[in-house]
Amino acid sequence: MTHCLIEHEWAAVVGLEIHAQISSKSKLFSGSQVHFAAPPNSLVSFFDASLPGTLPVLNRRCVEAAVMTGLALNCRINKKSLFDRKHYFYADLPAGYQITQQRLPIAVNGSLVYSFCAGKNRSQVINKTARVKQIQLEQDSGKSLHDDLRSQTLIDLNRAGVGLLEVVLEPDMSCGEEAATAVRELQLILQALGTSQANMAEGQLRVDANISVHHPGEPLGVRTEVKNLNSARFLAKAIDYEIQRQINELENGGEILNETRSFDSKLGCTIPMRDKEGKQDYRFMPEPNLPPLLLYDTESLPAGADPQQVIDIDRIREQLPELPSVTREKLVQQYGMLPEHSFTLLNEVGLLEFFQNVMKETRAEPKKVTSWVLNTLLGFLKQQNLAVSESPVTPSALAELLNLLDRKAISSSAAKQVFEELWRNEGKTPAQIVSEKKLELMQDQEALEQLCHAVMEGHPQVVMDVKKGNPRAINKLIGLVRKATLSRADPTVIKEILEKKLAS
Amino acid sequence: LGSDTGGSTRNPAAHCGLVGLKPSYGLVSRHGLIPLVNSMDVPGILTRCVDDAAIVLGVLAGHDPKDSTTIQDPVKPFVLPSLTDVSKLCIGIPKEYLTPELSSEVRSLWSKAANLFESEGAKVIEVSLPHTSYSIVCYHVLCTSEVASNMARFDGLEYGHRCDIDVSTEAMYAATRREGFNDVVRGRILSGNFFLLKENYENYFVKAQKVRRLIANDFVTVFNSGVDVLLTPTTLSEAVPYTEFIKEDNRTRSAQDDIFTQAANMAGLPAVSVPMALSNQGLPIGLQFIGRAFCDQELLTIAKWFEKQVQFPVIQLQELMDDCSSVFENEKLASVSLKQ
């Protein structure tokens, strides 16, 4: 059952091929370093440049990353996997082939669970599962930059040979939002494992989508591949556009070609990719320079094996870091927050850490902290399109503010004012701001009672209204008292005092 | 040093009166060796005598972390024993190698060598390698497939010859490769790509790999039956003169030249060509020994015994220089006169 909104009588089917750059010091088969934005062609070994006579040597860390990711996605880890050559000619592929795992990948048959907050108040959590067909290790290609002005193509091989995990998701998703949510969850898992930084802006996570439409109950339609969706923002948009394009095409009596398309973010549409016309025959061949990759578990580990030379799947499983779903569950249990709040905390980069740092320094109730972080802080950040790391308000500052609130040293409206002042980032602490703006709550109970008495005396008509049973009249009184206190009294306390006096 | 993919070290060794050693696949690192067929290539060793080949092998052999297909065991340099008693040896003579194309001279020397072992007490028996007739075709399919793959990197972009065309990347690639490869290489690439096409892969490449397994098993069976080494010709005949040679195309010549040698590459076995005698024309003829996998030392030990027995008239270099200068004076093509 999908919650996607598609035109009636049409169903869409979306599968994904996700390439994640492995977070490792060196490349998959050579010793050159992996760095983002290094000077062009400064991280290229002889092997990366395809000089004849060089041979691939498998990077252990990349294999461990693949096993960790496979385990986190509930896959079966293949104790034996194979490497193959996939041949095609392109300027950013120096050897004329990519080393990948086509026949027998390292992990198969897993699942990715992702969740929506749906319903009226987004309070209903729906769990969906996308099956993981396989995870394979393969080389990344170099980068080509087309300089149309000078009719030339510039090639940077820094990225050539960097290790990739390709995660193939079966066509279990039904629309752009589902796909985007699945990708987001995969990103969080990879980041939690440390196997990939999965930053789409830096090209560490790239998504290709396979999309088709059909009438429910009928066979699946012809699919198109939309390649290189490299931004979280455009992922859902591109997929939904393509779904609609296919529906429109079919409803107008046209047909869908099994072709490759790319997304033009400026125009907001998918367009066919010129140089991918015609079916490519990749002439797959076993990679003769790499023997089969053999992995072990505690049972099959040969006695006296050199731990440097073998990988034990069970040991890796024991040492897996906490996955996002577990983190969210713990937040709900520990702090009593709503599930949808746990999602928001994890989905915003850096927000969970911010939250935890505030919790460390404050006595305020978790619910209050959650509210301030998710509503106030996040609201301000979103308004100015800032990342959590760019927040002018630090966790310590917010913690101090919440402590003042918790001690009832200030009212919540005063706290809001302080927050706005903190946001201006003039180097003042909450305590300083409170003192400068004279926002402290009146602590003198007797003085407050006298004020209340004075207001009541000064406004007999309103008092009459209250006694008559007008529910809104008391608010007027509270307002008058507040004004008299220059907003330095807690409205709840004022109300208590007034009610006591009125009763007597 | 040379390389041996189907006999390219042993073949010239036989024609030139040298020892040509093809080590076991996985014993000597291929890092730095420009590849032709990664699953068959080995660095080859050419020397004047078997002891020298053993010295070089001792230095080169052993695990190299840069070559994932080398075995893990380290190898120490070794000295070959001087065998005096061959009575415990069993020499196998593969009957399928007795082909009609074999020259009578080579056949006669092969027979002489077998008799030599027998007369010195060794057991000499006829054995069968039943899949021999499929070997050269199987070799051709696998060789061209890997060649097509290994040559894909020669596009002129990073290194090597690059043509002047700049209309498009594809045009530049096509012209560069047309200019940079001769027709033999282009022919192999086209064949290889044909065999690797999706619709052909099962019928050609995979089939050939299966046949390769059968060929390798032939050797395993023979060695398991008590045979220590196989004794075969290295080449069909002495070296063919250039004008004769060019009468056949490369494909035909390759098939002929490699016929006795390529099976050892298919099976990954060590093999060595040892010069035996001069032909009637005064050109060297060598014979081949094929051993068990990773028993290169044993193989060379037997080869060394054989070398001592046949006393091949190895060229002495100073005399060669003297004879060459007299040739230029007298303007005649020589078969060089040799000192015993």
Residue A299, domain member (yes or no): no
Contacts (Cβ under 8 Å, ≥6 apart) of A26: A32, A33, A34, A59
pLDDT at position A107 is 98
Looking at the predicted structure, is the pLDDT value of residue B333 above 70? no
Side-chain half-sphere CA neighbours of A89 within 13 A: 18
Tokens at B249, concatenated = 């195309």
Which residues of chain B neighbour A291 with C-beta distances below 8 Å?
A: 68-69
CB B254 within 8 A of CB B234: no
Q: Which fold has domain B2-324?
A: Amidase signature (AS) enzymes (3.90.1300)
Query: Is the pLDDT reported for residue B105 higher than 90?
Result: yes
The domain tally of chain A equals: 3
What pLDDT was estimated at residue A434? 85
d(CA A7, CA B155): 50
Q: Which residue of A has its CA nearest to B66?
A: A57
pLDDT classification of A275: cutoffs 50, 70, 90: low
A143 & A224 share domain: yes
Compute the count of residue pairs across chains A and B with CB atoms less than 8 Å apart: 81
A256 plus A138 within the same structural domain? yes
Q: Does B1 touch chain A (CB under 8 A)?
A: no
Reference A187, options A205, A203, A166, A169; nearest CA is A205
**For residue A245, how many other CB atoms are within 10 A of its CB?**
17
- pLDDT value of position B163: 92
Q: A29, A156, A285: which to substitute to probe chain B, counting the most B Cβ within 10 Å? A: A285
How large is the average pLDDT for residues A15-22? 97
DSSP β-bridge partners for residue B288: B232, B273
Which of B38, B151, B205 is nearest residue A289 as measured by Cβ atoms? B38
pLDDT band at A265 (very low <50, low <70, confident <90, very high): confident
Contacts for A158 with CB less than 8 Å, ≥ 6 apart? A35, A38, A40, A41, A42, A43, A44, A142, A143
Interface of B with A in 161-200 (CB under 8 A): 166, 169-170, 173, 193, 196-198
Select from A58, A283, A289 the Cβ nearest to the Cβ of B197.
A283
What pLDDT, on the 0 to 100 scale, is given for residue B340? 39
Sheet containing strand A84-87, edge to edge, reads A97-100, A84-87, A285-286
Mean per-residue pLDDT for B223-249? 94
Domain edge (last residue) among A408, A437, A466: A437
- Which of B146, B157, B177, B210 is best to mutate for the A interface (most A CBs within 10 A)? B157
Amino acid at the residue A92: D
Average pLDDT score over chain A = 90
Q: In degrees rounded to 5, what are phi and psi of residue A331?
A: -60, -45
Which residues of chain B make contact with A91, given a CB cutoff of 8 A? 157, 169
B97 touches chain A (CB under 8 A): no
In the prediction, which pLDDT does A273 show? 85
Cα angle B309, B128, B113 (rounded to 5 degrees) comes to: 15
Residues A352 and A214 in one domain: no
Q: Looking at chain A from residue 89 to 128, which residues have their Cβ under 8 Å from any Cβ of chain B?
A: 89-91, 94-97
Q: What is the pLDDT averaged over residues B69-75?
A: 90
- Calculate how close chain B gets to A133, using CA atoms only, in Å: 22
Same domain, A283 and A364: no
| Residue A85 backbone phi and psi in degrees, to 5 | -105, 135
Q: Is A302 on the interface with B (CB under 8 A)?
A: no
Together in a domain, A95 and A194: yes
Q: Same structural domain for residues A399 and A483?
A: no
User: CA-to-CA distance for A250 and A10, rounded, in angstroms?
Assistant: 11
What is the extent of the structural domain holding A230?
11-293
C-beta separation of B285 from B16 below 8 A: no
Give the minimum alpha-carbon distance from A373 to chain B in angstroms, rounded to a whole number.
53
Is B131 in CB contact (< 8 Å) with chain A?
A: no
Separation in Å, CA of A283 to nearest CA in chain B: 5
* A403 domain-assigned: yes
pTM, 2 dp: 0.88
Q: Please tell me the distance in Å from A282's CA to the nearest CA on chain B.
A: 8
B34·A52 Cβ contact <8 A: yes
**Please, what's the b/e burial string for B229-262 (b: 16 or more CB within 10 A of its CB; e: otherwise)?**
bbbbbbbbbbbbeeeeeeeeeeeeebbbbbbbbb
Instruction: Tell me which residue of A130, A419, A411, A146 sits closest to A274, measured CA to CA.
Output: A146
Tell me the pLDDT band of B110, cut-offs 50, 70 and 90. Answer: very high
Residue A3 lies in a domain: no
Q: Find the length of chain B.
A: 340
Are A241 and A353 within one domain? no
Write the CATH number for A451: 1.10.10.410
Residues from chain A that touch B201, judged by Cβ atoms under 8 A, are 283-284
Are A289 and A372 in the same domain? no
Among A26, A47, A50, A55, the strongest candidate for a mutation testing the B interface, having the largest count of B CBs within 10 A, is A55
Candidates A87, A94, A290; nearest CB to B158? A94
pLDDT value at B339 more than 50: no
A291 vs B65, B69, B198: nearest CB: B69
Contact list in A for residue B197 (CB cut-off 8 A) is: 281, 283
Q: Which of A411, A437, A463 is the last residue of a domain?
A: A437
pLDDT of the residue at A274: 66
Give A144's Cβ-side CA count (13 Å radius): 13
B244-298: pLDDT as tens digits: 888 888 888 888 888 899 999 999 999 999 999 999 999 999 999 999 999 999 9
Of all residues in chain A, the one with the smallest CA distance to B69 is: A289
CA distance A145 to A180: 27
Is residue A147 domain-shared with residue A116, that is, in the same domain? yes
Where does the pLDDT of residue B327 fall: very low under 50, low under 70, confident under 90, or very high at 90 and above?
Answer: low
Identify the residue whose tokens are 């009578």: B104
Q: Is B202 on the interface with A (CB under 8 A)?
A: no
Chain B contact for A5 (CB, 8 A cutoff)? no
Q: What pLDDT is stored for residue B334 in this prediction? A: 46
- CB A87 to CB B38 under 8 A? no
**How far is Cα A351 from Cα A27, in angstroms, rounded to an integer?**
31
* Cβ within 8 Å, pair B39-A151: no
Report chain A residues whose CB lies below 8 A from the CB of B149. Answer: 85, 87, 96-97, 283, 285
Residues A185 and A83 occupy one common structural domain? yes
B positions 137-156 inside 8 Å of A (CB): 145-146, 148-153, 155
Q: Is residue A486 over pLDDT 70? A: yes
- pLDDT at residue number B119: 97
Question: Could you tell me which of B306, B97, B309, B111 has the C-alpha nearest to residue B222?
Answer: B97
Nearest CA to A285 out of B197, B170, B231 is that of B197
Pair A257, A136 in one domain: yes
Which residues of B fall within a CB distance of 8 Å from A280?
Answer: none
What A2-7 contacts at long range (C-beta under 8 Å, 24+ apart), as own/partner pairs, is: A2/A174, A2/A175, A2/A178, A3/A116, A3/A118, A3/A126, A4/A174, A4/A175, A4/A177, A4/A178, A5/A175, A6/A174, A6/A175, A6/A243, A6/A247, A7/A244, A7/A247
Q: In the numeric block, which tokens belong to residue A372?
A: 């301030």
Residue A319: inside a domain: no
pLDDT in tens, A330-387: 999 999 988 889 999 998 889 999 999 999 999 888 999 999 999 999 999 999 999 9
Task: Check: CB of residue A262 under 8 Å from CB of residue A276.
Answer: no
Distance from CA of B150 to the nearest CA of A (A): 8
Where b means 16+ CB within 10 Å and e means fewer, A254-283 reads: eebeeebbbbeeeeeebeeeeeeeeeeebb
Residues A467 and A342 in one domain: no
Contact A71, A54 (CB under 8 A): no
Does A156 map to a domain?
yes
Give the integer Cα–Cα distance in Å for A118 and A125.
Answer: 6
User: Half-sphere exposure of A499 toward its Cβ, with a 13 Å CA cutoff?
Assistant: 9
Q: Label residues A306-333 b or e (16+ Cβ within 10 Å = b).
A: eeeeebbbeebeeeeeebbbebbeebee
Alpha carbon distance B111, B276 (integer Å): 12
> Domain for residue A301, yes or no?
no
Mark which of A417, A437, A457 sits at the end of a domain: A437
> ipTM of the predicted structure?
0.91
- For residue B90, what are the β-bridge partners? B123
Lowest mean pLDDT among A48-57, A227-236, B234-243, B315-324: B315-324
Q: Do A281 and B38 touch (CB under 8 A)?
A: no
User: With a CB-CB cutoff of 8 Å, which residues 18-47 of chain A face chain B?
Assistant: none
Spell out the SS3 assignment of A1-15.
CCCCCCCCCCEEEEE
**Per-residue CA distances from B282 to A70, B200, B230, B336 (Å):** 67, 47, 27, 8
Q: In the Cβ-directed half-sphere of B216, how many Cα atoms lie within 13 Å?
A: 16
Alpha carbons B310 and A162: distance in angstroms, whole number: 56
Q: Residue A339: inside a domain, yes or no?
A: yes
Q: What is the mean pLDDT of residues A91-114?
A: 97
